[in-house]
Structure 1
């Protein structure tokens, strides 16, 4: 399983390199004064990293918004930990942008609890509507730890970008509530290619990501990025199942 994970991860990395090189050049050539443009480049690079997971069959989406992830927990855990590594790297290399990121506001435990609760309100109804009882699938409990790392690690990277950088930047120009609304709408819009081209599932994905994005934006406004990560990660974790017969 580990050897297979290495092959899958190398294939994913090699597939991404040409696009990421171009995004890196674009980012490097952009003046630091153009903060909004630099954030947009980072968002687009992340969308590329996320959306190519579909044709590479690292995940798949169904019409009932069930998200099936690769059944190999080593791949999932590595992707989640790599996302945390990218967050740490960005904090070190991009201190000017990182100043926009509000990790926590108020009581952190209260924020995390609120985030988990809001994520549960989003993800649990969809989990209950799924035709498949995920816990009964073969290998589910061995797969789950890797999925937990991916759900919270990878989605923290997404939250740092949308709720940390974008929402933080917007708060310098508009009210916190409006910044949260814009980040939520932008989050849904950045799923447009995934919804309308990569998967062809259309409006259900856009509606779900709009609700999720607005909820995460509100939680971030109240308690910071750590709390919004709890919202995002919990919602995805509740909806996720392993791909049957795909390890």
Structure 2
């Protein structure tokens, strides 16, 4: 599994590298005095890294907004861990943005509980609608630990980008509510290519991501990025299944 996973990760890296290198050059050439543009570049880079996973067979979407991820737990854990490393790297590359990443606001334990509950409110109805029963899915429990790492690790990166950098930056210019609404809508808009071109599943994907994006943005506004990560990661974990070939 590890050897196969390494081959998959190397193929993914080689495939996405040209685009990431160009976006990296764009980022480096953009002056630090233009943080909005630099944040936009990071969002485009993330969308690229996420969306190319579909044609490479690392994940797939169904028309019922069920997400199937590769059954290779090593790949899942590696991608989740890499996402956390990228968060640390971004903190070094743009340390001045750290002030926008409000990790916790208000009562931390309450915020984390709210994040978990909101994630369940998004994910549980879809899980029930889709009829996902863990005991009926071959290899589900072996696959689950890697999926947990991916769900919370990869979505931590996404939340830092959208709810930390973007929403935090906007809060310096706008009211917190308007910043949250823009963050949520931007999150859904950044799934348009995935919904309309890569998967051709259309409006169900956009509706789901709009609901999820607005929920995470409002949770972040009240309780911080950590709570939003719990919301996002929990929702994805609840509707995810192993990808069967």
Is it true that 1:52 corresponds to 2:38 in the alignment? no
Q: SS of the residue aligned with 1:77?
A: helix
Please give the alpha-carbon distance, in whole angstroms, between the structure 2 residues aligned to 1:125 and 1:210.
16
Please give the alpha-carbon distance, in whole angstroms, between the structure 1 residues aligned to 2:69 and 2:189.
23
Quote the offset at 1:131 in angstroms: 4.2
Please give the alpha-carbon distance, in whole angstroms, between the structure 2 residues aligned to 1:135 and 1:75.
23
Q: Give the CA RMSD over aligned residues.
A: 0.8
Please give the alpha-carbon distance, in whole angstroms, between the structure 1 residues aligned to 2:127 and 2:26.
40
Is it true that 1:4 corresponds to 2:18 in the alignment? no
Gapped regions of structure 1 (runs ≥ 5)? none
Under a length normalisation based on structure 1, what TM-score does the superposition of the two structures give?
Answer: 0.97
Deviations 1:13-49, CA, capped at 9 Å, x for gaps:
1111100000000000000000100000000000000
Quote the offset at 1:133 in angstroms: 2.4
Q: SS of the residue aligned with 1:55?
A: coil
Deviations 1:132-187, CA, capped at 9 Å, x for gaps:
42442111000000000000000000000000000001001110000000000000
Quote the offset at 1:243 in angstroms: 1.1
Please give the alpha-carbon distance, in whole angstroms, between the structure 1 residues aligned to 2:49 and 2:40.
14
Q: SS of the residue aligned with 1:155?
A: helix
Under a length normalisation based on structure 2, what TM-score does the superposition of the two structures give?
Answer: 0.98
Is it true that 1:160 corresponds to 2:160 in the alignment? yes
Please give the alpha-carbon distance, in whole angstroms, between the structure 1 residues aligned to 2:194 and 2:111.
30
Quote the offset at 1:94 in angstroms: 1.1
**Equivalent residue number for residue 91 of structure 2:** 91
Q: SS of the residue aligned with 2:86?
A: helix
Is it true that 1:178 corresponds to 2:178 in the alignment? yes
Q: Is contact 1:151–1:236 with CA below 8 Å preserved after alignment?
A: yes
Quote the offset at 1:109 in angstroms: 1.6
Quote the offset at 1:63 in angstroms: 0.7
List structure 1 runs of 4+ shifted beyond 3 angstroms. none
Q: Is contact 1:151–1:237 with CA below 8 Å preserved after alignment?
A: yes
**Equivalent residue number for residue 42 of structure 1:** 42
